Structure 1
Amino acid sequence: MRSRRSFLLAAAVLALDQGTKAWAGRTLPGGGSRSYLGGLVRLTLVHNPGGAFGLFPEHSGAFIAVSAVVVAALAVLLLLGRWRPLGRVGSALLLGGAAGNLVDRVQWGYVLDFLQVPGLPVFNAADVAIVVGAGLLAVALLGGGKAK
């Protein structure tokens, strides 16, 4: 039962990510940009063929392979692992985010990013889920995240 809820959370993250990317693609055609909250947040359409922060754009095949392995490993961990709630939530967020960016890479050959905050690279909902999920998982692991 617990793994079902975790997979539902991962699926919700994937759906949110893909939905917001579809919206951004329709709303910001041609690399357009819009400013909100006095410039605190910008919506800027970016096609990122590389890894985090656009690194290594010529290695998209490797990113697809690594992402697929990560998604599969996280799914197995959620299915078989005995995590406390914080570890399950963190793993589910990681799974949903990794799956969202993997879908982009397979479908288009790049990840669509569109959220921009001063001082940070352009990112998307999957990236937020990955960062928050990794943080929650780290806290769970440091605090003895596996159930006894």
Structure 2
Amino acid sequence: MRFLVVFLGVLGLDRLVKYWVQQSLPLNHSLPVIEPVLYWTHIRNKGAAFGFFQGMNDLLMVCAVLVIGGALVYILSRRPRPGIVTALALIAGGAAGNLVDRFLFGGVIDYIDIRIWPVFNLADMAIVAGSLLIVVYAVFCSPEEGRSLWKE
């Protein structure tokens, strides 16, 4: 249940914000939020993070499906701790949000612009947060706890 709530929450919020961006801001335009630190900048990213894999939309869609499927298989085949379920749901929800964009628009809608980093979106933040949560679990558990980290 936790997986489903977090997954759908990330996906739903991501879709809502991207819809607002599409309706409110023309493509390739910026709107200052907190100058000079934060802007809404509507762009279409046809690659992955940092612009890698430009023009490889089909490959990136397959990767997203594999990530979502892998998270589901792992959770259904084992009994991971709640934190790991949350982390995998964040990653899968973010992957699903970007997958929808790739399918509908041929690229990901990015909009959070902090000027010192490539423009990104809520789905990207969920993927990073989930990944960091897994790293934190792995790093800060003793070897005894580490053996039971992934299973209750």
TM-score, length-scaled by structure 1: 0.91
Pair 1:147-2:117 in alignment: no
In the alignment, what sits opposite 2:98?
Answer: 101
> How far, CA to CA, are the matches of 1:48 and 1:72 in structure 2?
23
> How far, CA to CA, are the matches of 1:78 and 1:7 in structure 2?
11
The alpha carbon displacement at 1:36 in A equals 1.4
Structure 1 residues 70-113: Cα deviation after superposition (integer angstroms, max 9, x where no partner): 11111222223322222111111011001111111111110000
Question: Where has structure 1 moved over 3 Å in runs of 4 or more?
Answer: none
Whichever structure has more helix as a proportion of its residues is 1
The one-letter code of the counterpart of 1:119 is: I
Q: How does 1:22-41 map to 2 (within 5 A)?
A: 22-41=19-38
Q: 1:111 aligns with which of 94, 108, 111?
A: 108
The alpha carbon displacement at 1:126 in A equals 0.1
Q: How many residues align?
A: 145
Listed as ranges, the gaps of 5+ residues in structure 2 are none
In the alignment, what sits opposite 1:75?
Answer: 72
Listed as ranges, the gaps of 5+ residues in structure 1 are none
Q: What RMSD, in angstroms, separates the aligned Cα atoms of the two structures?
A: 1.3
> How far, CA to CA, are the matches of 1:101 and 1:62 in structure 2?
13
TM-score, length-scaled by structure 2: 0.89
In the alignment, what sits opposite 1:48?
Answer: 45
The one-letter code of the counterpart of 1:36 is: V
Conserved 8 A contact 1:78-1:92: no
Q: Out of 93-102 and 68-77, give the one that drifted further.
A: 68-77
In the alignment, what sits opposite 1:126?
Answer: 123
In the alignment, what sits opposite 2:62?
Answer: 65
Structure 1 residues 19-70: Cα deviation after superposition (integer angstroms, max 9, x where no partner): 1001011111132211112221100011001111111212111111111111
Bigger Rg, structure 1 or 2? 2
Q: Out of 78-87 and 9-18, give the one that drifted further.
A: 78-87
Q: Out of 34-43 and 80-89, give the one that drifted further.
A: 80-89
> How far, CA to CA, are the matches of 1:54 and 1:81 in structure 2?
35
